Amino acid sequence: MRAALLGAGLAGAGLALAAAALPPASAAAEDTTPPSAPGTLRDCPLPAAPGSSLGIGVSLCWGAATDDVGVTGYDIQVKQSGAFTTIRTTTDPGSIVSGLTLGQLYTFRVVARDGAGNAGQPSNELTASANYLSGMPPSSPPPSPSPVDRTPPTRPEGLAAQNVYVNGAVGLLWTPSTDDVGISTYEVYVWTGGAFLRAQQATLDMRADQVTAIVTGLTAGHDYLFYVVARDRAGNLSAPSDLVRARAMVEPPAASPSPGTDTTPPGTPTGLTSVTGMDIPGGIFLAWYTVSDDSGVPPRYDLFRQTDHGYAYEGENGLPRDIVSGLEGGKPYTFQVVARDAAGNLSNPSAPYTAIAQPGATSSPTPSPSLGLSPSPSPSPSPSAGSGCRVTYATTTWGSGFTTTVTITNTGTAGIDGWKLGFSFPLASQRVTNGWSAVWTQSGTAVTAENYEWNKTIKPGQSLYLGFNGAYTGENPKPAAFTLNGSACTTT
């Protein structure tokens, strides 16, 4: 069989039919005897060199027909709406049909013709599933893979600080998480510069009964907040541990603090609870007991809300109360509060407290108001702050089909927790037939790809790979622009 056998494909679920060019009637006009039926039609291996770009389809072979004058061609027909239609003609007893939809069943038959145009009886009918043609391993992962393990590990418990005698270091220890497959690692996050960032210099010792971490590269004598998240071998993340406060080691220790230096933290906030009697749809009114500081100046309070895999900062207040709004009504939320004095010393976090948001809600938490009781800080950044993205769109075409690999890179400084990629095909004839690593939808020329639960997070600098198979007619130009969660991305 020759490469020239590559047929005009059946584009996607619809069948883009190539007109069958019938051979000229060169035989004598008196020839009215049709050819015999072709031999058994079967799905046969394609003798193509590895790496041949033959696409997705079916490879067909059949026995040669006979005729009193001579067989001049074979019509390959496919069943549509109960009737067979010729999609191409070949002179050899075999051909491929490409550009089909992966995994879809198609029914074929073959009819022989002689030089006078007589058509013989059809071959047997063959129903076959479209697949990657021989010699062409898929250039992308199988469509829409789903990881077997979707169960996250248990949250790390008992997080506590311990001394390590290394200048600018903090020691942490906690009880190991459990998982149905196994823990791969733990991620340590530190509150610094007004945000939780993953500790880049954290050395783990993962033992069966206890996990320890040494975080270095911190400012000696400075207070920090930490939490820990477990990651299993499938990449699932646990809920975060409770917050813990620790002071980076000063080594060798100074004999005594410099005169006038305040190194004493405020007291630990207690009594965190919700306050009733105020109508706050989708909100929670929180209050706690006042704490004191040795400086005599009342400390300020930082409030943190636990999220699926970390903590959100809800802002500061000068009085022991706060309103958190923009929550989902009826859903529980867990909080911890930390006191901070004028010298930057931090208290130990309060015990975690869980409260139910009042009914009537949105699902996007907003910065807490200051209640008008003290000067309020600058608003927290919007969800788009620190965001940035780059999209690479690489296509391989064959016949009337193509495979596209899409790479999304987070070029910003903030993690992306849940994403939706959007773009539009330049032509109405371009369409997605199936895809992988995202939920793909198309309306007109507009295409969207939305995350699964297992790949919803894209950390700063991280790239995510997804893709799709498509069909087109005429030309197959690249989309001009891409957006991620509504924001424009650069393209390569």
Q: What average pLDDT score do residues 467-472 get?
A: 87
pLDDT on residue 302? 95
pLDDT of residue 47: 52
The pLDDT of residue 35 is 92
Q: Name the band, by pLDDT with cuts 50, 70 and 90, for residue 200.
A: confident
Amino acid in position 362: T
| More confident: 7 or 339 | 339
Give CA–CA dist 137/52, Å, rounded: 9
What average pLDDT does this structure show over 354-361? 83
Taking CA 391 as the corner, what is the angle to CA 412 and CA 388, rounded to the nearest 5 degrees?
15
- The pLDDT-based confidence of 215 (bands split at 50, 70, 90) is very high
pLDDT attached to residue 377: 33
* Beta strand ranges found along 123-281 (DSSP E): 126-129, 131-132, 157-162, 170-175, 183-192, 195-198, 202-206, 211-215, 223-232, 244-247, 273-274
Strands 487-491 and 389-398: parallel
DSSP 279-329: --TT-EEEE------TTSSPPEEEEEEE-SSSEEEEEEESSSEEEE-S--T
Residue type, 345: N
d(CA 27, CA 96): 28
pLDDT of residue 371: 31
Residue that is written with structure tokens 């004839």 in the block: 429
What pLDDT shows up at residue 387? 73
Residue 83 is predicted with a pLDDT of: 85
**How far, in Å, are 280, 300, 490 from residue 274 at the CA level?**
12, 19, 45
> Using an 8 Å Cβ cutoff, are 28 and 112 in contact?
no
| pLDDT of 9 higher than 50 | no
Q: pLDDT band for position 18 (50/70/90)? A: very low
Share of the chain above pLDDT 90, in %: 47
pLDDT in tens, 364-394: 333 333 333 333 333 333 334 467 899 999 8
- Distance from C-alpha of 9 to C-alpha of 130, rounded to nearest angstrom: 11
User: Length of the chain in residues, anyone?
Assistant: 492
Higher-confidence residue: 384 or 317? Answer: 317
Over residues 258-287, the pLDDT tens digits come to 667 889 999 999 999 998 877 788 889 999
pLDDT in tens, 111-122: 999 888 889 999
Q: What is the pLDDT of residue 111?
A: 95
Query: What's the pLDDT at 97?
Result: 85
Going 302 to 306 to 310 to 313, the CA torsion angle's sign is: negative
CA–CA dist 416, 457 (Å, integer):
5
Lowest mean pLDDT among 203-207, 231-235, 337-341: 231-235
Return the ∠ at Cα 460 (arms to 456 and 465), rounded to 5°: 50
Lowest-confidence region among 133-147, 295-309, 397-411, 477-491: 133-147
Task: Give the residue-averaged pLDDT of 178-185.
Answer: 91
pLDDT for residue 363: 39
Matching residue, tokens 């479209």: 130
Look at the alpha carbons of 175, 177, 178, 183 in this order and tell me if their dihedral is positive or negative. negative
For residues 132 and 348, the model is more confident at: 348
pLDDT value, residue 148: 62
* Nearest one of 15, 10, 35, 38 to 23, comparing CA atoms: 35
* Stronger pLDDT, 400 or 118, i.e. the higher one: 118
Average pLDDT over residues 11-22: 37
Return the pLDDT at 354: 96
Residue type, 164: V
pLDDT of residue 139: 44
Minimal CA–CA distance to 194: which of 220, 224, 169, 164?
224
Asked if pLDDT for residue 463 goes beyond 60, the answer is: yes
* pLDDT band with cut points at 50, 70 and 90 for residue 54: low
Q: Are 339 and 269 in contact (CB under 8 A)?
A: yes
Q: Which residue has the tokens 């095909």?
A: 425
Confidence of residue 428 (pLDDT cuts 50, 70, 90): very high
Rounded to the nearest 10 degrees, how much is the dihedral formed by the CA atoms of 80, 86, 88, 94?
90
Segment 289-304, tens digit of pLDDT: 999 999 889 999 999 9
Q: What is the mean pLDDT of the chain?
A: 82
Report the DSSP pairing between strands 94-98 and 83-90: unpaired
Check residue 277 and give its pLDDT.
79
Rounded alpha-carbon distances, angstroms, from residue 346 to 66, 201, 263, 381 = 93, 22, 10, 23
pLDDT of residue 223 exceeding 80, the answer is yes
Average pLDDT over residues 169-194: 93
